[in-house]
A and B are shown apart, each in its own frame.
Chain A
Amino acid sequence: MALSPTRPGDPIPATGARISFTSLVELHGQDLYRFAWSLTRSPHDADDVYQETLLKAFRAWSKLPPDANHRAWLFRIASNTWISDRRKMGRVHQFGMDQPDMPSGETDTATQVVASETLEHVTVAIEALPPKQRTALVLRKYHDMSYEEIGEVLDSTPEAARANVYAALQKLRSQFATALVN
């Protein structure tokens, strides 16, 4: 027997009201896992980020102001968890401009670049993006977030969020350009 969505308890608002953690997870759990996967691109690491995020969120849930953006709050915990985990694992050298594994225009054998290699380069390039840029790009591209919401995740202004996305695109562009020129 199905009850209409206007029954008591429905609809569950995304913001502006105190909801249970159960409903928070029901609303955003899958999206959160997809975000963890997009960031890490590794099932094992995605599970770790997802579980750690849920644990931190569960502990802090009662202290969150009811009018907070629940999804942005969850994603911010996930993003910070991912960055922190990477640092702990000693991958910090991959952040920033120092990208030793990146192919460059000078060293590529121009005529040998093929489409699959291009994609591989792009994947490497995405993984080598500074964490805020990568997070911003993932949120914009895969989660269709507005720059306002990305700013909430990154704890920055919408303008800074947009700048992060475009800085990421600028870095990726050099990879595409290298391949396409060839």
Chain B
Amino acid sequence: MTISTNHRHAQSQDQVCMALASSDDPCEVVEEAIPALVIGDLTRPDEAAISEHCETCSSCADMLSTWESGLAAPEPPDPSSCPTPAQALGLRAGHYGLMESPLGDLMIVVTEDGVADVGYLANHDREAQFCELEHRGILASERPSAVAPVRDQLQEYFAHERTNFTLPVDLFGVTPFTRSVLEATVAVPFGEVRTYQAIAGAIGKPTASRAVGNALGRNPVPVIVPCHRVVRADGSMGWYTGGPHIKEHLLEIEGVTWAAHNRAQPTLPGIG
């Protein structure tokens, strides 16, 4: 006896039912159909017909039971023994979570070393941010609880209840020049601004103000690393990854205001 392979139309034809109706040996029909049953290739009426037959036929019931046991899914190992994708790839593991903010939705990524990324979802979709993280050698998985401390401090900042962040920052995968620019930027206090040129001077490269601007444009941790506090020497705000309206909003939170009628001439306390 061979297993029928002509079940390809089984979903529209109840072949077992039809065969049972015309056969003198129902066991032969059922035995032949059981393998197709256990891999899910039969129609519901066919499945029901086999079940009904097996209720009164112990040998067919035994055969069905043996097939089902024999093809039962192997018990998987303890899931915790499975290497994480980041481990498998030799990448740094991160966890991400989302939050709503006055600046729009944010995606926060943390590693065991600190905050690795804060992304404006209004400007970059999540996939683009994941790709940037992969480029830095970080593979993130969703775990909202892991980003809770970051989310809490950001919420306090947006609510004017916090003036500095007490969070470690992970600049893994960031180039050394950009890292030096970001480290100098972290030193700019709340409510003050510095020029690109001043940051360039602070890192010992006074002529590199344009490169400083580019580096700040690649700041993976905006708000927490306050690139919004770096402005042009002519007093205008300069470019910002999330858009100039976000930079203005952040500076307003910190009490730095731009006159509505002349955004190129802001009131700049502590410009350096």
B126 interface residue per 8 A CB criterion: yes
Q: A21-B139, A50-B82 are in contact. Are A173 and B3 (CB under 8 A)?
A: yes
CB distance from B199 to the nearest CB of A (A): 31
In residues 74-97 of chain B, which contact A (Cβ within 8 Å)?
74, 76-77, 81-83, 85, 88-89
Q: A8-B125, A37-B77, A50-B88 are in contact. Are A141 and B39 (CB under 8 A)?
A: yes
In residues 51-89 of chain B, which contact A (Cβ within 8 Å)?
59, 62-63, 66-67, 69-71, 73-74, 76-77, 81-83, 85, 88-89
* Cβ–Cβ contact B88 & A51, under 8 A: yes
Q: A1-B99, A140-B40 are in contact. Are A180 and B88 (CB under 8 A)?
A: no
B134 interface residue per 8 A CB criterion: yes
Q: How far is the CA of A172 from the CA of B89 in the complex (A)?
A: 37
In residues 115-156 of chain B, which contact A (Cβ within 8 Å)?
121-122, 125-128, 130-131, 133-134, 139-142, 151
* Cβ–Cβ contact A166 & B121, under 8 A: no
> Which residues from A are CB-within-8-Å of B130?
20-23
Beta-carbon contacts of A100-139 to B below 8 Å, as 1s and 0s? Answer: 0000000000000001001100110010000000000100
Q: A8-B125, A37-B76 are in contact. Are A26 and B141 (CB under 8 A)?
A: yes
* Cβ–Cβ contact A22 & B140, under 8 A: yes
The secondary-structure label for the interface of chain A is: helix
Contact pick for B100, options A3, A19, A20, A180, CB 8 Å: A3
Number of residue pairs A-B, CB distance < 8 angstroms: 127
Q: How far is the CA of A7 from the CA of B104 in the complex (A)?
A: 11
A67 interface residue per 8 A CB criterion: no
Q: How far is the CA of A121 from the CA of B216 in the complex (A)?
A: 65
B22 interface residue per 8 A CB criterion: no
24 A-B pairs (CB sep. < 8 Å):
A1-B99, A3-B100, A7-B98, A9-B127, A20-B126, A20-B127, A21-B130, A22-B133, A23-B127, A25-B141, A29-B85, A50-B83, A54-B85, A118-B70, A119-B66, A119-B69, A122-B66, A122-B71, A162-B5, A163-B5, A166-B5, A166-B35, A172-B70, A180-B62
